[in-house]
Amino acid sequence: MHLCLAPIKGFTEAPYRNAAAAFFTGFDTAMAPFMATIQGCKYPSSHLKDLLPENNSGWPVIPQILSNNPAGFVTLASRLHDLGYDTVNWNLGCPFPRVAKKNRGSGLLPHPERIDRFFEKVINQIPNRLSVKTRIGRFDVAEMADLMPVFNRYPLAELIIHPRTGVQMYAGDPDLKLFRYCLEISKNPVVYNGDINTKADFTRLSGKFKSVDHWMLGRGALADPFLPAAIKNLAPPESEKLYIIRQFHDRLFQAYAQVLSGPSHLGDKMKGFWLYLSRSFADGKKILKKIQKTRQTTHYTDVVNRFFDEDPQWIA
């Protein structure tokens, strides 16, 4: 079984990946949040900071590219190959309107002919293997009937499917019936992504889709970083979890402090982190409310240290 950390913009960049890999087991790879292509850009090292090998000390990383420009995609993929990345991922799943309205991410899904032309121009021009991360349509699941034949025409490293439409965002139930349809007709390896928040979720889904060997976990692993290890029966004893979480938090705080300018940016980043982590504590809503009220770094660290000193209950 292969588990991959999902790409979540603003959360799973290199500081998080490195810190998490130092304290938690279970993930085999991580997909980096997308980089958008830039017209005419040669992509200097400063633009590729999150993916520079010297900035990544954790799990093997797969870069993700957001683009509707074949030439730009080839340029960026080739630059990433020079950095040692033999696989890149094309983002056909981003559901956010500001992306989709520009015919990028899930915004391309109603246009299978454009996707087909993109593959024709890219797949034999890049030195990397190509994987695709997609939704089951932007507006309607019926779009997938036209998309799967396009995906099947090309040798993809893998097809990662989140079984919701783009306009659903993260609401509503995943369409498992349609995922099964895609799994059964796909000529490429299929990866399941979406709503794996507990080991019970994984057990249920893996029971339904026995032929799936690769799985992608995102927000569930942000809330419970022990989840990948639990799935593989590698989780540490309950008595050790709070200590590990505290050490991880401190490592992550220091990592962000080194790359973010100003205490307000650092505070905002850590508040985003607690939006997920607080869900795994019995009194999570209470600590989240206190953290969201902090305005200075010293106040933030005082609040968090006091919380951990009080031996809170980890319930994930």
| CATH-assigned architecture of domain 2-231 | Alpha-Beta Barrel (3.20)
* Residue of 59, 51, 57, 58 lying closest to 84 (CA atoms): 51
Three-state secondary-structure class, residue 41: coil
Backbone angles phi, psi at 65, to 5 degrees: -120, 130
Mean pLDDT of 260-268: 88
pTM above 0.85, yes or no: yes
Amino acid present at 296: Q
Q: What is the pLDDT of residues 191-223, one digit of tens each?
A: 999 999 999 999 999 999 999 999 999 999 999
Spatial separation of the C-alpha atoms in residues 65 and 240, rounded to whole Å: 38
pLDDT mean across residues, the chain: 96
**Is pLDDT above 90 for 158?**
yes
pLDDT at 46: 85
Return the minimum-mean-pLDDT range out of 67-76, 262-271, 282-291: 262-271
Residue 290 has pLDDT above 90, yes or no: yes
